[in-house]
Amino acid sequence: MAWWNLFNARSSEADRPDFSAAPIDLGKQLVFDVHSHLVPGVDDGAEALDDSLAMIERLVKLGYAGAVITPHIHSDIYPNSERSLRPAFEHLRKAAAARWPQFHLHLAAEYFLDDHFAECIAADDLLWFPATDEEGRKVKCVLFEFGFHEPPMNHDQVIFDLQMAGYTGVLAHAERYPYWHRQPDQIRSLSDRGVWITVNAASLGGAYGPEMCRVAGQLLEKGVAKMVCSDAHGLRHMDSLAALAKSPLVQQWSTTHAVLSRGIRSEH
């Protein structure tokens, strides 16, 4: 049976979060957290510097080496750009470095896939992060998301243009698009075309309901997911991340599949 048929079948243990395993050092396994909203005051994430530092402290205690911080860039709601984000990020980076000098912070973004994203690609004006692919090649990654309510339009062309511009696309929280829950071949198709698939820790913990939990679990079980991310907007998301240290599913995935958050490079 093809994996996407298995994906549709219920009865997987991934339907219910299981946190019964002996804990592992999660940060040592995943190394970088690659999706979070920790730049204070620029989107719906951290509101103040102290909020940001409290979340970073949680990552440090979990043993992470660093984090790629990804503020929303959405032309209608969060019209951010590198110019608007960089000063607030640098302020945070200096404050974090004073406390945890070994912990790396990198500024990227979570782009909403719309006309503005297409314009940023055309202008080669993108916030990206440096990573290493499964063949050991250095790549430039760009995190993007779709809307939650309607399937994306024209995304194949935009993703193709992104790749032609020399970037690897990274899809945020692939389990959070309900219109594809019964069409997982859509996610598989993106993965087959070189898009890195990520899932959110909170989804694996059931915070968004059983369907998101099921789909996220299946993406890990089948090795389609390349990264598990906090997508932290607040400490509740760091709690979800920390809980994964006892997840048999995450432990199995992290020892049998490529975990591409291990290949994030701190230099730019």
Minimal distance, residue 174 CB to Fe ion, in Å: 12
Select the residue whose beta carbon is closest to Fe ion and give its number. Answer: 231
SS3 226: strand
Residue 254 and residue 201: Cα distance in Å, rounded? 14
Minimal distance, residue 18 CB to Fe ion, in Å: 25
Q: Which is nearer to Fe ion, 201 or 260 (CB)?
A: 201
Q: Give one DSSP letter per residue of 72-115, joined into a string.
A: EEBTTTB---HHHHHHHHHHHHHHHHHH-TT-EEEE--EEESSH
Q: Which is nearer to Fe ion, 24 or 190 (CB)?
A: 190
The residue written with tokens 């698939």 in the block is: 197
Nearest to 237 by CA among 228, 249, 246: 228
The residues of the shown chain that bind Fe ion, judged by CB under 5 A, are 110, 231
- CB neighbour class for 99 (10 Å; exposed up to 12, middle 13-18, buried from 19): exposed
Minimal distance, residue 6 CB to Fe ion, in Å: 28
Minimal distance, residue 2 CB to Fe ion, in Å: 30
Q: Which is nearer to Fe ion, 16 or 236 (CB)?
A: 236
Q: Which is nearer to Fe ion, 53 or 143 (CB)?
A: 143
Minimal distance, residue 38 CB to Fe ion, in Å: 11
Minimal distance, residue 23 CB to Fe ion, in Å: 26
Q: Which is nearer to Fe ion, 70 or 251 (CB)?
A: 70
The letter for the amino acid at 183 is Q
Residue 230 and residue 241: Cα distance in Å, rounded? 6
Sign of the Cα pseudo-torsion (261, 45, 15, 144, in order) = negative
Q: Residues, the chain, total? A: 268
CA 154 remoteness from chain centre: 22
Q: Which is nearer to Fe ion, 24 or 225 (CB)?
A: 225
Q: Which is nearer to Fe ion, 110 or 175 (CB)?
A: 110
β-strands 129-132, 138-145 pairing: antiparallel
Residue 12 and residue 17: Cα distance in Å, rounded? 11
